[in-house]
Amino acid sequence: MKLKNEHLLVAGSWTGALKPPESIPDRADVVIVGGGIVGVSTAWFLARQGVDVVLCEKGYIAGEQSGRNWGWVRQQGRDPREMPMMIESMRIFRELEAEIGEDIGFTQGGCLFVANNEKELEEQHDWVESTKEYELDTRVIDPKELAQLVTGATPPWLGAMYTASDGRAEPHKTTPAIARAAARSGAKILTSCAVRGIESSGGRVSSVVTEHGTIQTSTVLCAAGAWTSTFCRSMDIQVPQLRVRGTVARTAPAEKLLDGCLFDNRLGIRRRDDGGYTVAHGSILDHGITPSTLRYAFKFLPALKKEFKVLRLRFGKDFFDELAMPTQWSLDEQTPFEKLRVLNPAPSKRVLRKIRKNLDAVLPQMANVDIVEAWAGMVETSPDVVPIIGEVGEVAGFHIATGFSGHGFGIGPGAGKALAAMVTGADSAIDLTPFCLSRFFDGSPIRPMTAI
């Protein structure tokens, strides 16, 4: 599909000159690996408490998942384990623009999961019932109310799950704005600064080795998104994690047909703050089979079964690229993190054609509206599609926060608040034990409750 009037509003997050640090600090209380929404939110909360924190990002802030996502900030449809953190995240989002003094395009425009059949409707009623204790405003609405929320949609939907308080924000604005707020509060945010590995002494983290030098510290948070498993493997820690490619597009400004987010099995669509829409296919996940797919196949079997209909498996370049990637390295030489600074998969042309077709079929008023930008992102996921959080491995002081799957943008600020408490040993109102890595190795059943 030929894109008219193409320009890089979203992709501006991962293009342009890289800015390596002029110098790096000798020491810090906490070092964070990764400048996605999870890393920068944690840095922001730590810095506001007066903790001396350094964040190292190998490429650009929000250069990977956090700048490429759909921008949905939703509570509905989540695994119940995520609910307390997500409710806190929504509270933070509501106040974020005022707190940081920057526009992130946040609006509580509502979220709709439409039902195409009775089974989907029943599942929606079940979800609402199972999360009653959280007192959300989620309801299952009928086609008449749905038609009032979405102008001119053609499918004969039976109803929808609807949460009026759910929201949206612009990914290309949000994470960089939180990073700037963290810096204003005293965090040191270093870009183009890959962390090569960790050194330890007496069974505890003693320093972080970056491509630009070493930072003494006793506490590390690895929030490295799709790279966490690779990073941990170099420390002999197994983190089951796989990647799926999602293709996304942005339209030119158009008539207001809905104010928030809508998910149909053919289409995911969100109103943007510039009057356009962010659109994607509702049910295509591209997974390039890699050695990790084989290594973790058994653990991912329940998720693969659940997503079987929407998964498009490919065997080819991804397999050989990962096979050729070293799993261990010396800290004084270039690592995979510097060789591939930005994970920048190409959008699938086939999926883009389907997005165009489905958009026009579901919302015919969009037929004359151009798609002006397209991109793709690698969603990283855990076997039960819920994050992996905690101190891991043999070396005390090394923590991870990863596996946020296709819903980590909305929960990111809430995760950052809980992670800041975790790494400083403070009390957090949010229980992180359901997210421990050991759940994948201690024989606990692996049950994905939601989609990737």
Total residues in contact with ligand FAD, by rule CB under 6 A: 40
Chain-centroid distance, C-alpha 221: 17
Examine residue 382 and tell whether it contacts ligand FAD (CB under 6 A): no
Residue with the two structure tokens 């806190």: 88
User: Taking contact as CB under 6 A, which single stretch among the options 36-44, 232-240, 287-295, 429-437 is the one that binds ligand FAD?
Assistant: 36-44
User: Taking contact as CB under 6 A, which single stretch among the options 99-107, 356-364, 409-417, 439-447 is the one that binds ligand FAD?
Assistant: 409-417
Examine residue 194 and tell whether it contacts ligand FAD (CB under 6 A): yes
Residue 42 or 124 having the CB closest to ligand FAD: 42
Closest distance to ligand FAD from the beta carbon of 97 (Å): 18
Classify 203 in phi/psi space as left (phi over 0), alpha (psi -120 to 50) or beta. Answer: left
Within positions 320 to 339, which residues make up the interface with ligand FAD, using CB under 6 A? 337
Closest distance to ligand FAD from the beta carbon of 271 (Å): 13
Examine residue 63 and tell whether it contacts ligand FAD (CB under 6 A): yes
**Secondary structure of the chain as H, E, C letters:** CCCCCCCCCCHHHHCCCCCCCCCCCCECCEEEECCCHHHHHHHHHHHHCCCCEEEECCCCCCCCHHHHCCCEECCCCCCHHHHHHHHHHHHHHHHHHHHHCCCCCCECCCEEEEECCHHHHHHHHHHHHHCHHHCCCEEEECHHHHHHHCCCCCCCCCEEEEECCCEECCHHHHHHHHHHHHHHCCCEEECCCCEEEEEEECCEEEEEEECCEEEECCCEEECCHHHHHHHHHCCCCCCCCEEEEEEEEEECCCCCCCCCEEEECCEEEEECCCCCEEEECCCCEEEECCHHHHHCHHHHHHHHHHCCCCEEEECCHHHHHHHHCCCCCCCCCCCHHHHCCCCCCCCCHHHHHHHHHHHHHHCHHHCCCCEEEEEEEEEEECCCCCCEEEECCCCECEEEEECEHHHHHHHHHHHHHHHHHHHHCCCCCCCCHHHCHHHHCCCCCCCCCCCC
The only residue of 68, 243, 272, 281 in contact with ligand FAD, by rule CB under 6 A: 68
The only residue of 10, 13, 57, 296 in contact with ligand FAD, by rule CB under 6 A: 57
Within positions 145 to 174, which residues make up the interface with ligand FAD, using CB under 6 A? none
Residue 148 or 240 having the CB closest to ligand FAD: 240
The only residue of 44, 45, 70, 106 in contact with ligand FAD, by rule CB under 6 A: 70
Within positions 254 to 313, which residues make up the interface with ligand FAD, using CB under 6 A? none
The only residue of 11, 30, 42, 59 in contact with ligand FAD, by rule CB under 6 A: 59
Examine residue 56 and tell whether it contacts ligand FAD (CB under 6 A): yes
Residue 38 or 85 having the CB closest to ligand FAD: 38
The only residue of 31, 38, 430, 452 in contact with ligand FAD, by rule CB under 6 A: 38
Examine residue 408 and tell whether it contacts ligand FAD (CB under 6 A): yes
Closest distance to ligand FAD from the beta carbon of 180 (Å): 16
Closest distance to ligand FAD from the beta carbon of 255 (Å): 22
Examine residue 39 and tell whether it contacts ligand FAD (CB under 6 A): yes
Residue 44 or 404 having the CB closest to ligand FAD: 404
Residue with the two structure tokens 């296919």: 281
Closest distance to ligand FAD from the beta carbon of 18 (Å): 11
The only residue of 77, 110, 167, 225 in contact with ligand FAD, by rule CB under 6 A: 225
User: Taking contact as CB under 6 A, which single stretch among the options 1-9, 63-71, 147-155, 308-316 is the one that binds ligand FAD?
Assistant: 63-71
Nearest one of 350, 328, 342 to 11, comparing CA atoms: 342
Residue 71 or 240 having the CB closest to ligand FAD: 71
Please report, as ranges, the residues that interact with ligand FAD according to CB under 6 A: 33-39, 56-59, 63-66, 68-72, 194-195, 223-227, 231, 246, 248, 337, 377, 379, 404, 406-410, 412
